[in-house]
Amino acid sequence: MSIQPVPAFEPPYVMAVFSNVRTADDSGYPDTLTRMKEIVQGNPGYLGYESARTPDGLGITVAYFRNHESLTAWREDLEHQAAMKQGRNDWYESYTLHVATVERSHGFVRNG
C-alpha cells in the first residue's frame, strides 16, 4: 500500500488545519489548487500536506511547516492571498482555520 499519512516530525513544528464546505462553483478551483500546492511545496519550511473530504462535503486539509516564519511566508504569498479572496467570494460555503504549534507527535507503521 503506497498511501501514507504525513509522518511525525521533531517538535516543535507548526500545523494549520483548514476545514471547509465547498459551494457548487468549481470555476478555476482545480487549477488554483494545483498552483497553490506548487507554491506551498516551494516554501523552505514546508513539511507536508494531507487532505480528505467526506461524501457529504466536509473537507479537512492539514499543512505542516517547520516554524511560524514559514507559515507567515505562505500566508503572505500574493497568489495565495488572491486565491483566499476568491475562495471567500466563490468556492467556500464555510471554513475554519486553526493554526497551532505541535508539541508532541508519534507514528505507527505495521510490520511488512
Chain residues in the site for a copy of itself (CB under 8 A): 1, 3-8, 15, 17, 19-21, 23, 50-54, 56-60, 62, 64, 88, 92-110
Per the CB < 8 A criterion, the answer to whether 6 and 49 are in contact is: yes
As measured in angstroms, the least distance from the Cβ of 81 to a copy of itself is: 15
Q: How far apart are CA 20 and CA 34, in angstroms?
A: 18
Please give the span between the terminal C-alpha atoms of the chain, in angstroms, as a whole number: 10
As measured in angstroms, the least distance from the Cβ of 51 to a copy of itself is: 8
Nearer to a copy of itself, 41 or 94 (CB): 94
